Amino acid sequence: MPTRFVFRLIPFCATLLVAAAGIALGQWQTHRAEEKLALQQRMQARGSEAPLSALPVDASDAEFRQIRLRGHYLAQWTLYLENRPYNGAVGFHVLTLFQPEGSGPAVVVARGWAPRDAADRTRVPQVPPPSGVTEVEGILRRDAGHVLQLGTADAPRPQAILQNLDVPALAKASGVPLAPLVIEQSGVAGDTLVRDWPAPSLGIDRHRGYAVQWYALAGMALLFFIVTGFKRGRHDKA
């Protein structure tokens, strides 16, 4: 005589809740992966376009575009973002304001990475930017990246060591109108800074992995309900 399946309402409702949650969260992670895949494709497309020769009016569609500007650095407004390691070494990202030719706003240029002085952590690397009219080229980014910050950030000041860059706060402190973008400088500039910028971490594979886990949870909940239902049937026969 075949083993019968014993249905229980409360375990069935609990199974439905777990399975529905797993499927919903799996779909959300899948959607996030698709969004980031589309962003990756936009990054690649923008990176292949001809470099801009002026700061864009609409910053929302400018990220990851190449740009080449002529102008001069505002050397006094050089800042240092700490806790930016490179190949396991502790260091800074060196930022300097750059005023393009014309009457438009200035822009923050992330000029590169420099190591931190292990003997004196308050000492900043002395890598002055070129003087006079010069050309800077690089990739436009929305910001300079973020690290965990404890407490309230101090107002930016020349030669300051900061954890994160706040462009509006820097514009207010410097009195210089700033574009809401950062240029990650590329190419050779005749200094000792390292310009091996980390690629944006989109986490597409991570989202896909999470989606598989949530779908698996939903499947396991249904399988568990079915198996335990047949087990109850065998126990009832006994």
* pLDDT 10s digits, 24-46: 999 999 988 888 787 777 777 77
Q: Which pLDDT score, from 0 to 100, does residue 235 have?
A: 64
Q: Which pLDDT score, from 0 to 100, does residue 130 have?
A: 92
What is the Rg, in whole angstroms, of the alpha carbon atoms belonging to the chain?
27
How many whole angstroms separate alpha carbon 163 and alpha carbon 169?
13
Task: Kindly tell me if the per-residue pLDDT of 237 is higher than 60.
Answer: no
**What is the band of 68 on the pLDDT scale with cuts at 50, 70, 90?**
very high
Q: Are 73 and 106 in contact (CB under 8 A)?
A: no
**What is the band of 151 on the pLDDT scale with cuts at 50, 70, 90?**
low
Task: Kindly tell me if the per-residue pLDDT of 202 is higher than 70.
Answer: no
Q: Are 69 and 55 in contact (CB under 8 A)?
A: yes
Mean pLDDT along residues 178-195:
90
More confident residue, 141 or 59: 141
Q: Which pLDDT score, from 0 to 100, does residue 187 have?
A: 81
Around Cβ 72, how many Cβ atoms within 10 Å?
Answer: 18
Tell me which of 38-47, 108-117, 211-220 is least confident: 38-47
Q: Which pLDDT score, from 0 to 100, does residue 2 have?
A: 65
Mean pLDDT along residues 103-121:
92
Tell me what percent of the residues of the chain surpass a pLDDT of 90. 49
Confirm whether pTM is higher than 0.85.
Answer: no
Q: Are 73 and 98 in contact (CB under 8 A)?
A: yes
More confident residue, 39 or 238: 39
HEC assignment per residue over the chain:
CCCCCCCCHHHHHHHHHHHHHHHHHHHHHHHHHHHHHHHHHHHHHHHCCCCECCCCCCHHHCCCCEEEEEEEEEEEEEEEECCCCECCECEEEEEEEEEECCCCCEEEEEEEEEECCCCCCCCCCCCCCCCCCEEEEEEEECCCCCCCCCCCCCCCCCCCEECCCCHHHHHHHHCCCEEEEEEEECCCCCCCCECCCCCCCCCHHHHHHHHHHHHHHHHHHHHHHHHHHHHHHHHHHC
**What is the band of 1 on the pLDDT scale with cuts at 50, 70, 90?**
low
Task: Kindly tell me if the per-residue pLDDT of 104 is higher than 60.
Answer: yes
Q: Are 208 and 128 in contact (CB under 8 A)?
A: no
Mean pLDDT of the chain: 87
Q: Are 140 and 42 in contact (CB under 8 A)?
A: no
